[in-house]
Structure formats: structure tokens, C-alpha cells
Structure 1
Amino acid sequence: MLKEQLEDIEIQLLLEGIHRYYGFDFRNYALASIKRRIWNIIRAEGLTTISGLQEKVLHHPECMERFLCSLSVNVTTMFRDPNFFLTFRQKVVPILRTYPFIRIWHAGCSTGEEVYSLAILLHEEGLYHRCRLYATDINEMVLKKAKAGIYPLDAMQDYTQQYLQAGGKKAFSEYYTAAYDHAIFSSCLKENMVFSQHNLATDNSFNEFHIIFCRNVLIYFNKILQERVINLFHESLVPFGILGLGRQETLRFTPHERDYEELEGGEKLYRRIR
């Protein structure tokens, strides 16, 4: 028990030091999840203790860069949970047709696969020309990958299946060019995208949006940070705007639960009603 308490104290000191020195706030990330990832980083750095990692992170910025890459969760695919995108196409697109201009925020966009997925969907529905997609993440390195729009070619077979299940209307290969072992996505998809660094734990709203996607990010936060982020999204959504969450995420038991209605049972697409 004492060993566990000491470990928790070391983690708190590590995260407090990172917050004070670098400005990245991981203090309200879910403890069990962040603890596992910290120990993976310790082993990768050839260290044996959390305190040893703290010393290295604070005195060596290049170690902090590796820490940030390892700690931020960058698992995503194109058209992840195809039914979510199919429901978006069926239930949300008709609403968007009534807007002259559409602002969309992908919060925690990681390497950008879902940003391109939505761009493709909106293009097929004839709406992309009046959209602006703001894609943000805490991790500058993954944002560079997202902006490049280059993904492993061997993933395209799975992405094609998910695209079709999501109601895709064309040959998925029309949207990228194969080059060696990579798929380079069309530059026309990038025209209305803006990529920028944003920290959900500390940064504020930067615009008013009709759509906000934050999928499979909140599950890594504790209740305090989850409520902070949901409040941030509420402040950032226009009346009757749409919030899209991940399969394991919900607005239930949050202060804003009654401010939204679910568009389709189980697909985690919520419309702000007040």
C-alpha cells in the first residue's frame, strides 16, 4: 500500500512539474491509464523510476517531446465506427443543408483520419465547399502527419470497407494516389482544413461551431476534466449544433445532460437544444 501511495505521489509531482515548466496539463487524466503509459515511457527511456523520468523530462526537452508523443493517444482509423458516419450522413447532413456556411471542430484529431473521412462524406453530399474544418490536437507531431494526409497503403483495404459501410458513394481509391507504400490523399480535401495545436485541458473556445467531433478522447480523462471539456464544447456550439462523441462516451450524468437530445440511439450524436 505504501509503495502504491509513493508511486501516486511521484506521478503527481511529475505531472505538476510538466505543467509548470512546459504548460501541458495531464493532471486530470485518468490515473490508471496514465500510470500504464508512464511506465511504458520509463522502460523506453532506459530508466527505472518515475522520479528518474521527471529529472530527464524537465532537463532534456527532447525527452519531453518523446514523452508527449507516447502519452497522447493516437489510435484512429478512417470511418471508425461506420454506423456513426452513416447516421451522420442520414440525420445530420439534412440539417447542414439549411446552413449557408458550416464550421466544424475535430478536437483531439490525432493523425487526422477522421477529419479526412468527414471531408469525403461532405464532398459526396455537396456540402464541402461551404465548410471549414478546424482540426486540433495537443501533439504537434501528429498534427504534421494529419496535415500531410499520407497514410499506409496497406490500411486502404480496411478503410475502403469502412467507407462503404458508412454509405460511401464512390470508389474510395478516387480520393487518394498510391505512391510506393503510402496513400496520398487528394489536395482538394485539404483546401478547407485548418490544423492547429490546442490543449483541451487548459485552452479555451476559439470559435463558434455547428459541429464538434471529439471521439474516444474523453475516456482518457477523469470526471473533473471530462466536465471541463464538455462545458467547453457547450460554450463553443451554436444552438441546435451537433456534438459527436465516441462509442464509450456519453453526456449522461454530466451537468449538461439535459441540454442535448440524442439524434439516434447508441450512435453518440447529440443535438444541443438549450
Structure 2
Amino acid sequence: MGALSDLRSEAGAELEELELDLLLEALVRRYGFDYRLHERDALKRKLYALMHRRGLATLSSLQDRALHDPASASALLRALSVPPATLFDDPQEALQLRGLLDACLRGAALPRVWLADCAGAEQAWTLAVLLEEEGLLARTEIHATVGSDELLAEAAACRIPVERLAQCQRLYEYAGGTASLTVHFQIEDGHAVLLPQLRSRISWAQYNLVTDASFNEFQLIVCRRALPDFGPLLRQRVLTLFHASLAPLGILGLDRPLASDDAHARHYQQLLPQQAWYKRIA
């Protein structure tokens, strides 16, 4: 019985991998979104969570829904995207950014920042507040890219309940903020939206890190939330893209420190101990 059970378990695992392969291929061929080089375990966690919410038993049933129902396809692609950020939800990262902004942006004629695979409007708004308080926003362009039209629509429609803005105040203070967050927002009907003069410095665009080429030169590139889901080959492809897009002496923010054998590691100097912030030196 033990051997038979092992065979059944092995067959089930093989079937699961086949179903996953077919689902990912379907997403490429039907919608043009390529997750085939993402970490398999991360994909499975996201997919099974979606299946549980939808009451689906197999990846094949999820694929069937996604191919024939636009709403299901949209929900699937959203589930595989970077989870949405909330305002100052990572105060340590925001504090580190606050300390690095001047070094990479102050001397540039037209400073540009790229939030690659941005985690939604509130991540971009957090950066805009930091830049405003450091006296850099008026000269700086923030380019926030996301993977789909749905994510662009979410960013454009973003509003924060006023009570949640108050809850973010403490996180903002942990990140070095000394004012009231409300000075950066306009309040209407119980919701807060970033002031127009701050929002105007953020440009949103759909962009695919898997397939698209470099589109500008940047003094700061931040991609700390999407990279953990990338498999080794895709990770190296994206790091090469960032290297081609980062200006000399620009700063790169990653999810984890570069390994010594990473293709471009010799071109970067680590700026903070045990933290994945790097200055391009060559």
C-alpha cells in the first residue's frame, strides 16, 4: 500500500505541474501575460488562494473560467500581480529612501524615478510625499509602471478613507515624517486623495518587465515587491534591464542583496549594511 500511495502522490504532483504549465501557457496565448518564469511555489500559493475564494477544485477549472469569462480572467491576473501597497506600509523602506533621495537626485538636471511593477497608487503617493518633504518633487518625474490596464484604472481611482489616513500617521512618523500627513492630501466626502500638485509628478503606464525594453534613463529604480516572485532566469533578465536603465551613480532598490556571482554585481556598491540599496559605480 505504501508504494501504491507514493505512486498516486507522484502522479498527482505531475498532474498538478501539467495543469500549471497549461494554465500559464493559456495566459500567454490568450492575454499576452507571461508568468512561466516566475517562482512556481509563489505562483501556486496565489493560485490556490484564488481557487479557494472561488470554490474551484483544480487548476484546470480555473483555466476554463479564465479563458471563457473576462471577469474571472481579470481576477486571475490581479491575483498574480504585486499585492497592493498601503500608504507608508513599509516605514523602514521609506526611511531608507528618505536618506538616499538627495544623493541620487539632487545633482541631476532632470531627475527620474522608476517604480517598476509598482504596488499601486499608495506606493507612488508615499514616494511623492517623501520627495516633497525633501524638496525634490518639483524637479523629479516619477514613472510608475504596472502590468495591466486594470491596475492602471485602480491607481487612477484610488482614494483613502480619512480614518485610514489617520492610522498611517504613525507609520509616516516612523519613516521620518514630522508634519501631519493631511497637509499632502485633499479631503472630500470622507476620503483623501493626494494633492494635485503632487499627483502631477507621477506618470502611470502599462509595462511588462518580462518582455518590454528599457524606455528611459533613471537616477533611481525601485523594484522590491515584485522581484521575490521571479525565478532565476527572469530575475537576471530584469536585473539586466535595470542596469541598462540606470544612470551612472544612480541608485537601485532590490528585494535582497546581490550575490557575488550576479552578472552585474561588480558594477554596484552596497549603500546600507544588509540592505539591498546599491549605487551604480560603473
Tell me, yes or no, whether TM beats 0.5: yes
Correspondence for 2:43: 34
| Secondary structure of residue in 2 paired with 1:210 | strand
State yes or no: 1:104 paired with 2:105: no
Q: Structure 1 residues 225 and 158, CA, compared in 2 at 3 Å: closer, same or farther? A: farther
Partners of 2:230 and 2:163 lie apart in 1 by 32
Runs of 4+ in 1 over 4 A off after TM superposition: none
Correspondence for 1:266: 274
Alpha-carbon shift at residue 227 of structure 1 (Å) = 1.1
Q: Structure 1 residues 165 and 42, CA, compared in 2 at 3 Å: closer, same or farther? A: closer
Cα deviation, 1:116-152, whole Å, max 9, x if unaligned, reads 1111111122211111111011133232232344123
State yes or no: 1:237 paired with 2:262: no
| Secondary structure of residue in 2 paired with 1:251 | coil
Alignment check: 8 A CA contact 1:149 1:185 kept: no
Partners of 1:73 and 1:85 lie apart in 2 by 18
Counterpart AA for 2:220:
I
Alpha-carbon shift at residue 263 of structure 1 (Å) = 1.2
Alpha-carbon shift at residue 244 of structure 1 (Å) = 1.2
Alignment of 1:63-82 (within 5 A): 63-82=72-91
Alpha-carbon shift at residue 261 of structure 1 (Å) = 0.9
Alignment check: 8 A CA contact 2:257 2:274 kept: no
Alignment check: 8 A CA contact 1:83 1:267 kept: no
Q: Structure 1 residues 250 and 75, CA, compared in 2 at 3 Å: closer, same or farther? A: farther
Greater Cα offset, 220-229 or 177-186: 177-186
Alpha-carbon shift at residue 81 of structure 1 (Å) = 3.1
Cα deviation, 1:3-56, whole Å, max 9, x if unaligned, reads 011101110111011112211001111111111221222333343221122222
| Secondary structure of residue in 2 paired with 1:268 | strand
Q: Structure 1 residues 10 and 112, CA, compared in 2 at 3 Å: closer, same or farther? A: same
Partners of 2:94 and 2:62 lie apart in 1 by 41
State yes or no: 1:83 paired with 2:92: yes
Alignment gaps of 5+ in structure 1: none
Counterpart AA for 2:272:
E
Alpha-carbon shift at residue 180 of structure 1 (Å) = 4.1
Residue in structure 2 matching 1:160, options 159, 169, 178: 169
Alignment check: 8 A CA contact 2:112 2:220 kept: yes
Correspondence for 2:12: 3
Instruction: Choose 1 or 2 for highest CA Rg.
Output: 2
Partners of 1:143 and 1:266 lie apart in 2 by 33
| Secondary structure of residue in 2 paired with 1:263 | strand
Greater Cα offset, 60-69 or 20-29: 60-69
Cα deviation, 1:84-136, whole Å, max 9, x if unaligned, reads 33333333314421112101110111222121111111112221111111101
Alpha-carbon shift at residue 260 of structure 1 (Å) = 0.9
Alignment gaps of 5+ in structure 2: 1-9
Alpha-carbon shift at residue 212 of structure 1 (Å) = 0.6
Correspondence for 2:213: 204
Correspondence for 1:250: 257
Greater Cα offset, 40-49 or 251-260: 40-49
Partners of 1:94 and 1:169 lie apart in 2 by 21
Greater Cα offset, 86-95 or 190-199: 86-95
TM-score (norm 1): 0.92
Correspondence for 1:51: 60
Greater Cα offset, 17-26 or 261-270: 261-270
Alignment check: 8 A CA contact 2:113 2:141 kept: yes
Alignment check: 8 A CA contact 2:112 2:142 kept: yes
| Secondary structure of residue in 2 paired with 1:203 | coil
| Secondary structure of residue in 2 paired with 1:133 | strand
Partners of 2:48 and 2:90 lie apart in 1 by 30
